């Protein structure tokens, strides 16, 4: 039905609140980078209007750091839209500081706690190969 796929990978050793926080932030990254993937606004039977949601499913996976780094590497080589979240970003309180924390990371060994990928189905499937869906 869709020729693209969205996958969000969250590190499996995080507290529940951290996992939810990471998934929420990464989902906003996908939505902002792919406005054409957004659905139409919702309207209930009383005529109340609501916001839009992404028009396709997002699959949420879990992985250890090595699995996240592997998916990141595959995503780079396949030129997928990547949205990273690194552990240092938990200690910041705003977007500017988040970007500075990310900039300070070693690109070859990002300390990822989450990663969202968006692109052609086959390429995303290659990046998440072997990972388990989040329980």
Contacts 24+ apart (CB under 8 A), 17-26: 18/90, 18/113, 19/134, 22/85, 22/113, 22/114, 23/60, 23/114, 25/85, 25/114, 26/83, 26/85, 26/114, 26/115, 26/116
The residue among 26, 18, 24 whose CA lies nearest residue 90 is: 18
Rounded to whole angstroms, the Cα distance separating 89 from 26 reads 12
Q: CATH: 3.40.1490.10, 3.30.365.10, 3.30.70.580, 3.50.50.100. Which one for 4-41+52-133?
A: 3.40.1490.10
> Tokens standing for 93?
């309180």
pLDDT tens, residue by residue, 53-93: 998 889 999 999 999 999 999 999 998 999 999 999 999 98
Domains of the chain, by residue range, sit at 4-41+52-133
Q: What is the DSSP-derived secondary structure letter of residue 102?
A: H
Q: Is the pLDDT of residue 1 over 80?
A: no
pLDDT tens, residue by residue, 101-117: 999 999 999 999 999 99
Confidence of residue 34 (pLDDT cuts 50, 70, 90): confident
């Amino acid at each position: 039905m869709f020729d693209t796929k969205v996958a969000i990978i969250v590190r499996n050793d995080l507290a529940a609140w951290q996992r939810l926080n990471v998934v929420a932030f990464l989902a906003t990254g996908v939505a902002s980078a792919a406005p054409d993937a957004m659905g139409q606004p919702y309207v209930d039977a009383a005529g109340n209007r609501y916001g839009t949601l992404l028009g396709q499913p997002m699959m949420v996976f879990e992985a250890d750091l090595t699995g996240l780094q592997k998916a990141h590497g595959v995503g780079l080589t396949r030129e997928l839209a990547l949205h990273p979240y690194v552990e240092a970003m938990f200690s910041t309180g705003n977007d500017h500081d988040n970007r500075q924390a990310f900039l300070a990371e070693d690109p070859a060994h990002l300390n990822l706690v989450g990663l969202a990928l968006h692109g052609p189905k086959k390429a995303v499937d290659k990046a998440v190969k072997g990972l388990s869906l989040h329980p």
